[in-house]
């Protein structure tokens, strides 16, 4: 399997220390007005990716949402599927998630076997992703639906070894996720431990609902922060968090030019 241009771009950004913002749009939660507002804001503030998905997605709503985004925005759309049926060729790519924090074979490999021939026929760029759910204070839809136990919040060492194993198995991205609407985000200590353990780009999401939490995740080593709920609730948060990412990237450019 050839690595894709979306992956190459992300990997290059990581090499240059450039951070990215991904906005998660859940077809089951978003109304048209909210989506319109998010798309308008993404014209003025840099959003690197739209992730589309959720744990209980209805396919017709997902297709309509992707069509809506693609008709109005040039930002790449990546599927963030919770099931092999959640494929859609209108998107640019797919986070092909293997739930490596869990021990449910269906989400480690089973769903992927079902999806493989469909993916082969599609034009979707494939981003093989080690997906790690982290305990963040309450059971999330993702851990309930997947029937898996999330990584303990205060055990960065387990997360680091899990990511290391995922990288050794050939996964090209790691995603630490507290789950949508997490009570608190993945800890900076865990992000740092995973960052030190692997070289691949690191995505972090779940419960990032303030600019301080966004900054903390980036400072600890996240390459991409993923935000869903808070932008759904209050679309203008997109502008605030994009500003945090921009200042991070500008300070890095400044540091490089004075080296």
Q: What is the closest distance, in whole angstroms, from the C-beta atom of residue 116 to ligand 1GP in the complex?
A: 23
Nearer to ligand 1GP, 26 or 92 (CB): 26
DSSP track, 198-225: --S-EEEESS--SHHHHHHHHHHT-SEE
The tokens for 53 are: 């998905």
C-alpha 150/C-alpha 100 separation (Å) is 10
Q: Which residues contact 66 (CB under 8 A, 6 or more apart)?
A: 52, 77, 88, 90, 91
- Would you say 65 or 208 has its CB closer to ligand 1GP? 208
Question: Which residue is associated with the tokens 């963030």?
Answer: 80
Q: Which residues bind ligand 1GP (CB under 6 A)?
A: 24, 177, 179-182, 205-208, 226-230
Minimum distance from CB of 195 to ligand 1GP (Å)?
A: 17
Burial of 19 (0-12, 13-18, 19+ CB in 10 A): buried
Q: Which is nearer to ligand 1GP, 156 or 205 (CB)?
A: 205
Question: Taking the complex as a whole, how short is the minimal distance between the CB of residue 121 and ligand 1GP, in angstroms?
Answer: 27
Calpha distance 252→245 (Å, rounded): 11
Closer by beta carbon to ligand 1GP, 66 or else 217: 217
**Distance separating alpha carbons of residues 131 and 173, to the nearest angstrom:** 8
Closest separation between CB of residue 186 and ligand 1GP, Å? 9
Pick 24 or 198: Cβ nearer ligand 1GP: 24
Least CB distance to ligand 1GP at residue 229 (A): 3
Q: How far is the CB of 44 from ligand 1GP (least distance, A)?
A: 21
Residue nearest ligand 1GP by beta-carbon distance: 205
Q: 188 or 205: whose CB is closer to ligand 1GP?
A: 205
Tell me phi and psi for residue 101, to 5 degrees. -80, -15
């Amino acid at each position: 399997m050839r690595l894709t241009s979306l992956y190459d771009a992300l990997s290059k950004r990581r090499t240059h220390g450039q951070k990215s913002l991904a906005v998660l749009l859940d077809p089951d939660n978003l109304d048209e007005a909210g989506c319109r507002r998010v798309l308008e804001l993404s014209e003025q503030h840099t959003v690197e990716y739209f992730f589309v998905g959720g744990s209980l997605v209805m396919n017709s709503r997902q297709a309509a949402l992707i069509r809506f985004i693609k008709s109005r925005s040039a930002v790449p759309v990546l599927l963030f599927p919770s099931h092999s049926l959640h494929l859609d060729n209108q998107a640019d790519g797919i986070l092909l998630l293997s739930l490596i924090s869990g021990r449910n074979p269906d989400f480690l490999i089973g769903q992927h076997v079902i999806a493989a021939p469909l993916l082969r026929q599609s034009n979707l760029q494939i981003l093989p992703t080690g997906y790690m759910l982290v305990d963040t204070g309450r059971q999330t839809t993702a851990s309930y639906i997947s029937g898996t136990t999330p990584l303990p919040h205060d055990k960065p060492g387990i997360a680091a070894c899990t990511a290391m194993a995922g990288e050794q198995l050939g996964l090209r991205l790691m995603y630490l996720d507290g789950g949508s609407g997490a009570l608190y985000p993945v800890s900076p200590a865990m992000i740092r431990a995973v960052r030190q353990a692997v070289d691949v780009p690191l995505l972090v999401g779940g419960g990032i609902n303030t600019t301080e939490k966004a900054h903390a995740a980036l400072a600890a080593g996240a390459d991409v922060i993923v935000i869903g709920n808070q932008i759904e609730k209050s679309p203008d948060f997109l502008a605030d968090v994009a500003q945090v990412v921009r200042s991070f990237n500008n300070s890095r450019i400044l540091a490089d030019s004075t080296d």
